Amino acid sequence: MKKLCISVVSLLVIFSCGKQNLPDKVEEHIKKNLGDNPNKQQIEELLISGQVIYGSRPEEAKKYFEAAAKYDPRGAYALSDYYLEKEDYENFEKWVKQAAEGGDSRAQFNLGYYYDERNRLEEAKRWYIKAGEQGDSEAQFNLGIIYFNENNWNEAEKWYLKAIQNNHSKAYNALGRIYSEEKRFKEAEYMYLQALESGNNSWQIYSNLGYLYYELGDYSKSLKFLEIALSKDKENKVINCNIMKTKEKLKKYDGITINRKNCKK
């Protein structure tokens, strides 16, 4: 999951290595910055201070985040990260929900993902939508997957298109698959080729293009892309089966015995 990212707007207090206990200095620093009515800069300093010492002194960093969480959802988000690393999922959910309800898009995505992994899909959709509406492309893409699996292809298309607008390369392939299933082959071809142009060179793209051209009756082009897919995953059953069928259409039998063998695995 994503890490806390805070822009520095004030100078960080550097802790000295004196005789005073570091936890005491943390408490003193928190009290100094919070007071009765902390301003934005003081809250920011607490967040920054916690982030700076988090790697070496996470327990003390947690105190900063707890203090900041009363005023800023980023503090709650940082606490959720702390508990996630400890695999304390009850406290993770508590704090990530507080941050998400405070409008932190990273927390909204993480909470959606947390529910998604546990198959609590209605809750996952709720938080993915909130993150997606703030432009989180991963949330948009994951929404597309959920709706696709629910056979709600109109909603899946909507969210994949949003993810594409935010340069999510995998969304091209996913949307191409929808168009291919709907026999919208030209649109599917465009999406698959855009996926390649965006840098997604997975075997799935080439395999999908191979299947597309097979459906269009362009067997030579189909074989070309299927063989590229096979070079990336030699024993893939689906690719080998499709190559075997395509070679039979072309009456090209070179290597077909191996394809047939791997097709039957």
> Does residue 217 carry a pLDDT above 70?
yes
* CA-closest candidate to residue 205, choices 219, 194, 217: 194
Q: Quote the tokens at residue 134.
A: 């703030």
Task: Name the least confident of 63-72, 93-102, 175-184.
Answer: 63-72
pLDDT score recorded for residue 24: 63
CB neighbours of residue 111 within 10 Å: 27
pLDDT score recorded for residue 3: 42
pLDDT score recorded for residue 7: 36
The answer to whether 209 and 192 have CB atoms below 8 angstroms apart is yes
CA dist 55 to 26, 59, 127, 151, 224, Å? 15, 10, 29, 44, 50
> What is d(CA 231, CA 203) in angstroms, rounded to the nearest whole number?
8
122-165 pLDDT, tens digit each:
999 999 999 999 999 999 999 999 999 999 999 999 999 999 99
Place of tokens 């790697």: 55
CA atoms within 13 A on the CB side of 107: 25
Residue 249: partners with Cβ closer than 8 Å, 6 or more residues away: 214, 219
Q: What share of the chain is helix, strand, coil (3-state, %, to 5)?
A: 70, 0, 30
Per-residue confidence at 19, pLDDT binned at 50, 70, 90?
very low
35-69 pLDDT, tens digit each:
667 889 888 988 998 999 899 999 999 998 999 99
pLDDT score recorded for residue 265: 85
Q: How remote is the C-alpha of 183 from its chain's centroid?
A: 29
Per-residue confidence at 88, pLDDT binned at 50, 70, 90?
very high
> Does residue 11 carry a pLDDT above 80?
no
> Does residue 9 carry a pLDDT above 50?
no
- This prediction's pTM: 0.84
Residue 211: partners with Cβ closer than 8 Å, 6 or more residues away: 180, 222, 226, 242
Q: Where are the domains of the chain?
A: 19-99
Strand stretches in the chain, DSSP E: none
> Does residue 170 carry a pLDDT above 90?
yes
Judged on CB neighbours under 10 Å (0-12, 13-18, 19+), 154 is exposed
